[in-house]
Structure 1
Amino acid sequence: MMDRIKWFLGWCTRRAEDVVVFILGSMFVCFLLQIVFRYLLNLPLGWVEEYVTGAWLWGILFGYAFVLRINEAIRLDLVYNLVGSGPRRVMNIVSGLVGAGVLIYSLPATWSYIDFMFIEKTAYLRIPMGLVFIVYVPFVLSIIVRNLFIAWNALRYGRQYF
C-alpha cells in the first residue's frame, strides 16, 4: 500500500513539474512573440505583458507549493549556522510554529481579498483577478504544512531540514 502511495505522490510531483515547465515555456513563447510584433511589425501586443505577469506569479507560487522540496528552499541561516544543535532545534520549533500561526491567522483575510478580486477583470484578457490570485491559497497552505512539519520533526525527533 505504501508503495502505491509513494508512486502516486511521485506521479503528482512530476505532473506539477510539467505545469511549471508549461508556464515557463509559454512565457518564453509570449516574450518572443512580443519581440516580433513590437520591433518587427510595430504592433505591440498588450495582452502579452498581462499574461507574462500572471504566469510568473503562478509559476513561482505553484512551483513553491507543489514542486520545491523542503530542503531546497532558500534560507537566511547566518545565526542558525553559528549555534549548536540544541538552539537550532528550538529555532526550528519556534520559527515553524510562529510562521504557521501567522499564516493560519491570515487565511480568512486572504480568502476575503481573493473573493473580492473576482469582481475585477484583467484589462486585455478579461480574466477575473480572483483567478490570478487564487494560487496564493495553496501556496500558503503548503507553507503552513511545511512549517508544522519542521516544528513537529524538531520537537519529536530533533531533526533539522536545512
Structure 2
Amino acid sequence: MKQIAAGLRHAAQAAAAAMMAVMFLTFLLQIFIRYSARLEWLPEYLPFLEPTLFGWTLELCLVMWLWLVFWGNAFVVRENDHVRFDILYSRVNRKLRRIFVIVFGLCIAIGLAVSIEPTWSKFYILRLKKTATLSSLFGDWIRMRDLYVVYMLFLVAVSARYFWTVWQAYRHGLPEMPEQDGRRQSE
C-alpha cells in the first residue's frame, strides 16, 4: 500500500513538474515572439512566427498556473509544508491538541465538501463557454469548465485528506511533534 501511495505521489509531482515546464516554455515563447515582432521581415520568411498567431500563450500560462496551484495543493504539498500559525497549538497539552485537530479538521473538511455541489452547479454554465484563444491551439472542443475542473479535484482531495486526518486523530491519537527549541512537545 505504501508503494502505491509513493507511486501516486511521484506521479502527482511529475504532473506538477510538467505543468511548470509547459508554463515556462510558453513564457519563453512569449518573450521570443514579443522581441521578434519588431522584425517586420521575419513573418514574410517564416509565416508561422506571425505575432498575431500567439495570443493563446497568455491564456495557456494562466491555465497552467491555475492548475499548478490547485493540483499542487491537492496532491503535492504535504501537510507539514504549509505555513501555520501554531503558537497556541504547540503550547497546549496533547489532549487539547487532539481536540483542535478533530474540531478544526472537521470544520475544514465539511466546509470544502459542502461547497462541492454548489460549485459544480456554477460550473454547469461553463460547459457552454469556449476559451478566448486556446481554441486556436487545441481546437473548438475545449470549454471553460474543462479548464476549471481542477478546482473540483482540489475540493474533493483536500476534504478527503482532512477527513482522513480527523479519523486518524480520533482513532490513533496524534503523532509525535518534532523537537522545537531543543525540547519535545509531547507533554
Deviation per CA, 1:103-133, whole angstroms, max 9, x where unpaired? 1211110111222211111100133110111
Q: Which residue of 1 aligns with 2:143?
A: 128
1:49 aligns with 2:58: yes
User: Quick check: 26-35 or 141-150, which moved more?
Assistant: 141-150
| TM norm structure 1 | 0.87
Deviation per CA, 1:21-76, whole angstroms, max 9, x where unpaired? 11100111111110111123243632111001111111111122222223323333
For residues 128 and 138 of structure 1, the distance between their equivalents in structure 2, rounded to whole angstroms, comes to 17
User: Out of 90, 94, 108, which is 1:85 matched to?
Assistant: 94
RMSD: 1.9
For residues 88 and 129 of structure 2, the distance between their equivalents in structure 1, rounded to whole angstroms, comes to 44
For residues 149 and 99 of structure 1, the distance between their equivalents in structure 2, rounded to whole angstroms, comes to 12
The aligned length equals 158
For residues 117 and 109 of structure 1, the distance between their equivalents in structure 2, rounded to whole angstroms, comes to 14
Question: Percent identity among equivalent residues?
Answer: 34
Output the amino acid matched with 1:146.
Answer: R
User: Out of 19, 30, 33, which is 1:34 matched to?
Assistant: 30
For residues 159 and 133 of structure 1, the distance between their equivalents in structure 2, rounded to whole angstroms, comes to 35
Q: Which runs of 5+ in 1 are unaligned?
A: none
| TM norm structure 2 | 0.76
